[in-house]
């Protein structure tokens, strides 16, 4: 029975080769653009994550506290408990002065007389999704930090540092949101196109369909060839899209592979195939149920 349904689906598709070919081409381009958007989302996240891995947050400790102060040790422990991947490093003013001596020896000659540099807690390897949690934790201990009340944008202010990082993560969140909206619109367009294609086939062959009903054909052999036809269009378009997208990735890696390696998860491709096949089935089903009453 399944073979017969598949046979009629293929037969329906070949009856109007131009409509079938043009529809598959449009579906292929939509799926191709969806893959480009998914790739763009992945690349933007990895690039920002790569930049983020090199960023650090420097917390300048008030001179009233030292490395052994209970408040400081509790604070460091709380950060480590929040996320074990975060690297927490306490640097005394002498450590910072020695590091500065390697970069700016002339400046150190002036500073080492009194060493005004504060002790510093340096946080690194913070995941993008972890900043808000860490921010909440730090803001509950702001009394530990040194601050220059005369300047709102004083570089030692933790709030100033976090604001700059938050601006970057906000851009990523907005980009991800709109990419998802556009992808959703494209998937909806695929559903509408398949729905319209099946409706066109039903309309042009309505007399033949009416005759098959009169001679006693069951609904399975009337509805399901059109449902399967929608799935066939989705599958062929998906395979065509994969071929184009693979060529694109190969060319991008050939041109920019020394800077960044473009890749695409097989799991995402599998999910896309299932999703597009389901959309094809759903659109074909609803179109045939509506117009084959």
Q: Are residues 89 and 138 in the same domain?
A: yes
Q: Are residues 72 and 158 in the same domain?
A: yes
3-state secondary structure of 113: coil
pLDDT of residue 107: 66
Number of domains in the chain: 2
DSSP 12: H
DSSP 130-151: GHHHHHHHHHTTGGGB---TT-
232 CA to centre of own chain: 28
Q: How many CA atoms lie within 13 A of 258 on its CB side?
A: 1
Q: Are residues 136 and 272 in the same domain?
A: no
Q: What is the pTM of this model?
A: 0.69
Q: Which domain holds residue 205?
A: 2-49+170-291
What is the distance between the alpha carbons of residues 224 and 211, in angstroms, rounded to a whole number? Answer: 17
Q: Per residue of the chain (293 residues), give pLDDT as tens.
A: 666 667 767 777 777 788 888 889 999 999 999 999 998 888 877 777 776 667 778 888 888 888 888 988 998 898 888 888 888 888 888 887 787 777 777 666 666 667 777 888 888 888 777 778 888 888 888 888 876 444 444 444 566 667 777 777 777 778 888 888 999 999 999 999 998 888 887 777 666 666 666 666 666 666 777 788 888 899 999 999 999 999 999 998 888 877 777 888 888 889 999 999 999 888 888 887 765 55
Q: What is the CATH number of the domain that holds 73?
A: 3.30.70
Q: Are residues 194 and 91 in the same domain?
A: no
State both tokens at 43: 């690349």
> 169: buried, middle or exposed (CB in 10 Å: 19+, 13-18, 0-12)?
middle
Quick count: other Cβ atoms within 10 Å of Cβ 293? 5
Q: Are residues 63 and 45 in the same domain?
A: no
State both tokens at 93: 């003013």
């Amino acid at each position: 029975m399944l073979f017969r349904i598949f046979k009629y689906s293929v037969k329906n598709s070949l009856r109007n080769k131009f409509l079938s070919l043009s529809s598959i081409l449009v579906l292929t381009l939509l799926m191709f653009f969806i893959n480009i958007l998914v790739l763009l989302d992945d690349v933007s996240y990895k690039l920002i994550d790569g930049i983020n891995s090199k960023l650090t947050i420097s917390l300048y400790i008030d001179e009233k506290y030292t490395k052994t102060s209970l408040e400081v040790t509790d604070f460091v422990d709380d950060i480590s408990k929040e996320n074990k991947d975060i690297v927490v490093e306490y640097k005394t003013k002498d450590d910072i002065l020695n590091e500065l001596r390697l970069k700016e020896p002339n400046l150190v000659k002036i500073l080492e007389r009194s060493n005004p540099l504060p002790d510093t807690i340096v946080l690194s390897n913070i995941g993008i999704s972890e900043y808000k949690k860490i921010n909440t934790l730090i803001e509950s201990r702001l009394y530990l930090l040194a601050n220059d009340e005369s300047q709102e944008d004083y570089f030692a202010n933790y709030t100033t540092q976090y604001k700059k990082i938050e601006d970057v993560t906000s851009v990523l969140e907005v980009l991800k949101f709109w990419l998802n909206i556009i992808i959703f619109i494209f998937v909806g367009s695929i559903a509408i196109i398949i729905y319209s294609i099946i409706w066109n086939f039903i309309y042009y062959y309505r007399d033949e369909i009416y005759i098959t009903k009169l001679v006693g054909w069951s609904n399975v052999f009337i509805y399901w060839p059109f449902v399967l036809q929608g799935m066939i269009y989705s599958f062929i378009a998906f395979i065509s899209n994969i071929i184009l997208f693979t060529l694109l990735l190969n060319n991008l890696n050939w041109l920019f592979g020394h800077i960044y390696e473009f890749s695409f998860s097989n799991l995402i491709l599998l999910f896309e195939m299932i999703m597009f096949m389901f959309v094809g089935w759903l659109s074909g089903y609803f179109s045939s149920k509506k117009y084959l009453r």
